[in-house]
Structure 1
Amino acid sequence: MLRYILHKLALIVPTVIGITIASFAFIRLLPGDPILAMAGQHGITPERYEILKEQYGFNQPVWVQYFDYVWGVLQGDFGISVATKRPVLTEFLTLFPATVELALVAMIIAVAMGIPAGIFAAVKRGSWFDQLTMGVALTGYSMPIFWWGLLLIIFFSGYLGWTPVSGRIALNFFLKPITGFMTIDSLLYGNWPAFVSALRYLILPSIALATIPLAVIARQTRSAMLEVLGEEYVRTARAKGLSPRRVVGLHAFRNALIPVVTTIGLQIGTLMAGAILTETIFSWPGIGKWMIDSISKRDYVVVQSGLLLIALIVMAVNLIVDVLYAVINPRIRVQ
């Protein structure tokens, strides 16, 4: 197992190098000057402009800026935000729990609804339930998050008035962060009204973010189950008189689990990408909205380091999923 993990870690190294190059180059392809953006409408004198340019290293050749950036990352220094003058890592760690809370709830919704829907669709292959489930899944997968999110706001917040439009918790609640998860912190403080408020603010963005992963998980589960249900050992289990629940749950689903776990792991990247749009639409104070605001401010340091940190997290999750493959199916380690 250790050799398998080391092999996976070795494959991550060139990926990380490629991501640092891509994130560093991407932000510099955007039009605009970060120093002028930082000055805003008040303008800036030529002397002050040169001082700030030297302070942030923008007067150096591009290749020097890149190696300084990489050297700082290796030392745990992801730079200082041009806009807020705060360390990028500090801002990231402050906002990241909000994104994790949103993504976690969205993934729970996607898994809790997608896997059962896929199993029942496979068992009832060709039935109205199968066709309806796959039709809804295809619709959910094809629906843009920004459009779906606006529809949810218009209907549930505007027309019915059931949920808030934007934010993370009502303004009359102020909780000093303990874990960074608003729902958990409100329970730790024993503040039930705050918990209900945080939950109400979480409903719509988590549903919007869960739609695409739910559709993908449902379709993959159905496909994997159909393949397994046609195997000889499943027919043998049925011939022995085992109950349909035992055949499907014990024999079929266990062997269909690996591609389903693969799909769930790959959806982490989808959630992180979708969180950028979702957080912007619902004004959710997470790293997605933080990245969008930083792009509009031409904050080079935040964007390039934020992209790297997000990529490192996605790769770490994928590594964990790879290890789970090896635990579920030891033959993967041998191969």
Structure 2
Amino acid sequence: MFQYFLNKLSTTIPTFLGISLIAFAFIRVLPGDPIMLMAGERGVTPERYEELATQFGFDRPFYIQYKDFLFNILSGDFGQSFVTKQPVIEEFLARFPATLELSLSAMFLAVLFGLPAGIVAAVKRGSWFDHTLMGISLTGYSMPVFWLGLLLIILFSSILGWTPVSGRISLLYFFDIHTGFMTIDALMSGQKGAFASAISHLILPAITLGTIPMAVIARQTRSAMLEVLSEDYVRTARAKGLSTFRIIGLHAFRNALITVITVIGLQIGVLLAGAILTETIFAWPGVGKWMVDSIFRRDYQVVQGGLILISSIVILVNLTVDLLYGLINPRIRQTRG
């Protein structure tokens, strides 16, 4: 297992280097001048411009700048925001709990409804439930996040008045933030109505963000289950008189679990990407909205560091999924190790 881990870990290094190079190069082709942003466009002298270019290394060759950038991020230094003058890693960590809370809630809803729907659709293949589910899944997967979010706001916030439009909690509540998860902190505060307010603010963003992963999980679970249910050992289990619950839960679903875990792991990246739009629509103060605001402000250090940090999280999630393969099915460690 340790050798299997080392083999998988070695494949993540080139991926990380490639992402860091792309992020570093991408920022430098965006319109705008970071030196003018720092100095202010009014009254900046050529001497001051050259001084800032030398201070931040913009006057050096590209490969030298990239080498310094790579060494800095490997040591944990992701730069400093041009606007707030705060370290990028501190701003990221301050906002990441909000994004993580939203992503986990969205994934919880996606798995809670997508997994059983896919299993039942496979068992009842060709039935009205199967066709209805696949139609709903296709609709959910095809609908853009920003469009779905706006529709939910119009229906549940504007027309029905059931949920808030934006934010994480009502401005009526004040308490210390300990975990960064608003629902947990609201529950720990002991203030009446705080937890309910946090949940009401979370519902629409979580549904919006979780719709596409829910559709993907449902469809892929159905496909994996149909493939497993056609195997000889399933027919043998039925011939032996085993209950449907035992056949589906113990034999079929366990062998289809690898595909399901793959899908769930890949959807983490989808959630982080979708969180950018979702957080912008619902004014959710997470990493996604932070990145969008930084792009508009031409805060290149934040955009660059944020891309690296988000990509690193996705790489770690994919590595974890690969390791789970080996734990679920030891034969994979031999064939893929």
Q: TM-score, normalised by structure 2?
A: 0.96
1:44 and 1:8, CA in 2 relative to 1: closer, same or farther beyond 3 A?
farther
Query: Match of 1:215?
Result: 215
* Helix, strand or coil at the partner of 2:193: helix
Q: Deviations over 1:209-253 (max 9, x none)?
A: 001100000000000110111111111111122221121111111
Q: CA deviation at 1:56?
A: 2.8
* Helix, strand or coil at the partner of 2:52: helix
> Which amino acid in the other structure matches residue 272 of structure 2?
M
Q: CA deviation at 1:38?
A: 4.5
Query: Match of 1:310?
Result: 310
For 2:131 and 2:176, locate their aligned partners in 1 and report how far apart those are by CA, in whole Å: 48
1:306 and 1:220, CA in 2 relative to 1: closer, same or farther beyond 3 A?
same
For 1:149 and 1:39, locate their aligned partners in 2 and report how far apart those are by CA, in whole Å: 39
Q: Deviations over 1:145-187 (max 9, x none)?
A: 0111111111111111111111111112233221111111112
Q: Which moved more, 1:235-244 or 1:59-68?
A: 59-68
For 2:87 and 2:221, locate their aligned partners in 1 and report how far apart those are by CA, in whole Å: 43
> Which amino acid in the other structure matches residue 45 of structure 1?
V
Count of matched residue positions in the alignment of Structure 1 and Structure 2: 334
For 1:238 and 1:192, locate their aligned partners in 2 and report how far apart those are by CA, in whole Å: 54
Q: CA deviation at 1:48?
A: 4.1
8 Å Cα contact 2:106-2:207 kept in structure 1: yes
Query: Match of 1:171?
Result: 171
* Helix, strand or coil at the partner of 2:298: coil
Q: Which moved more, 1:270-279 or 1:45-54?
A: 45-54
Structural mapping, 1:8-87, within 5 Å: 8-38=8-38, 43-46=42-45, 47-87=47-87
> Which amino acid in the other structure matches residue 323 of structure 2?
V
Percent of aligned pairs with the same residue?
Answer: 66
8 Å Cα contact 1:97-1:286 kept in structure 2: yes
Residues 1:301 and 2:262 are matched in the alignment: no
Unaligned runs of 5+ in 1: none
For 1:96 and 1:178, locate their aligned partners in 2 and report how far apart those are by CA, in whole Å: 14
Query: Match of 2:257?
Result: 257
Query: Match of 2:324?
Result: 324
8 Å Cα contact 1:168-1:198 kept in structure 2: yes
* Helix, strand or coil at the partner of 1:256: helix
1:18 and 1:114, CA in 2 relative to 1: closer, same or farther beyond 3 A?
same
8 Å Cα contact 2:117-2:133 kept in structure 1: yes
For 1:266 and 1:108, locate their aligned partners in 2 and report how far apart those are by CA, in whole Å: 15
Unaligned runs of 5+ in 2: none
Q: CA deviation at 1:192?
A: 4.1
Query: Match of 1:90?
Result: 90
Q: Which moved more, 1:187-196 or 1:106-115?
A: 187-196
> Which amino acid in the other structure matches residue 193 of structure 1?
G
Q: CA deviation at 1:54?
A: 3.3
Q: Which moved more, 1:302-311 or 1:30-39?
A: 30-39
Q: CA deviation at 1:72?
A: 0.9
8 Å Cα contact 2:291-2:306 kept in structure 1: yes
> Which amino acid in the other structure matches residue 152 of structure 2?
L
Q: TM-score, normalised by structure 1?
A: 0.96
RMSD of aligned residue pairs (Cα, Å): 1.4
Q: Deviations over 1:70-113 (max 9, x none)?
A: 11112111111111100000001110000000000000000010
Query: Match of 1:231?
Result: 231
Residues 1:162 and 2:138 are matched in the alignment: no
Query: Match of 1:202?
Result: 202
Q: Deviations over 1:272-329 (max 9, x none)?
A: 1000111111111010111111111111111111111111111111111111111110
8 Å Cα contact 1:34-1:297 kept in structure 2: no
For 1:241 and 1:68, locate their aligned partners in 2 and report how far apart those are by CA, in whole Å: 66
> Which amino acid in the other structure matches residue 124 of structure 2?
K
Q: CA deviation at 1:35?
A: 3.1
Q: CA deviation at 1:195?
A: 1.1
Query: Match of 2:103?
Result: 103
* Helix, strand or coil at the partner of 2:151: helix
